[in-house]
Amino acid sequence: MTTDQQPRPAHSVASVAFDWGGVFTIGTFDGRSTARLAEQTGADVALVRQSYFRHVQQLEVGAWTLPQFWQIMQQETGITLPYADFEALYLGSIYDNEPMYALLRRLPPSVRVGLLSNNYPVVSDHLRARPAFARFDALVFSNEIHAKKPDRQAFEALEQAMQRPASQVAFVDDVQENIDAANRYGLYGLLYAPERHADFEAALGEWLGIPLGE
C-alpha cells in the first residue's frame, strides 16, 4: 500500500490525513455530477464535461465562486437551469463510501485526523457542516488555501494544520500522483482502492500501531 519506506513513529504521535473524493466517496464526484447534470437537463454529456473540466480548476483554487462557474457553464452548454437547482444537483452528487466513514468513527481520540482535498466553494462548506466531519481535527480545502495537490504548498498547509511534523502523518489518497508528491514532501503515503479496503485498514493500523478491526 505504501510507495515509500519510512519508519513508523510511535503510535502516541502517529496521525493520519485523508483525501475526500474517491476515498470518502464512491467513484468520482466530478464524473457523477456531470452525468446527472446532462441527464436531468437533456444536454450532451460530452459537451457538459468539456465545459466542466475546462474550468473546474478555477473552483479548486478558489478563483471563482460556484455561481460564477455555473454562469460560464450555462453560456458554453446552452443549459438553462436556475443556480439553486444546479447547486442542489451538485451537492446531491455526493455518494458516501460508508466503510471509510465507519473507519473514521473507530479511530480513537488519541489519533489526530486531518483532511486535504482538492475541493470547491459550497461543497467544502457543505462537508464542514456534516456531523461526521466533526471527527476531523484539521480540514484543508484547496479552494480555501488557493493551492491544490500535488503542489507542495498544499502539503505544507496540511502539515501546519495537523500540528505534527510530516514524518508523523500518513496521507491517504486514491491518486498515485498525489501519493508520490506526499512521499516526496515527507508524509507516509497510503494509496487507497475501495476494492482493497480491508488491506488498507491493515496498513493504516500498522502505521498507527493500533488494531482497526470492527
- Report pLDDT digits (tens) over 36-73: 999 999 999 999 999 999 999 999 999 999 999 999 99
Pairwise CA distance, residues 140 & 183, whole Å: 18
Beta bridge partners of 140: 116
117 near 25, Cβ under 8 Å?
no
33 near 89, Cβ under 8 Å?
yes
What pTM does this model have?
0.91
Pairwise CA distance, residues 188 & 168, whole Å: 8
Give the confidence band of 28 by pLDDT, cuts at 50, 70, 90: confident
Does the structure show a pLDDT above 70 at 114?
Answer: yes
In this prediction, residue 2 carries a pLDDT of 45
Cβ neighbours of 43 (radius 10 Å): 18
Does the structure show a pLDDT above 60 at 84?
Answer: yes
Average pLDDT, the chain: 93
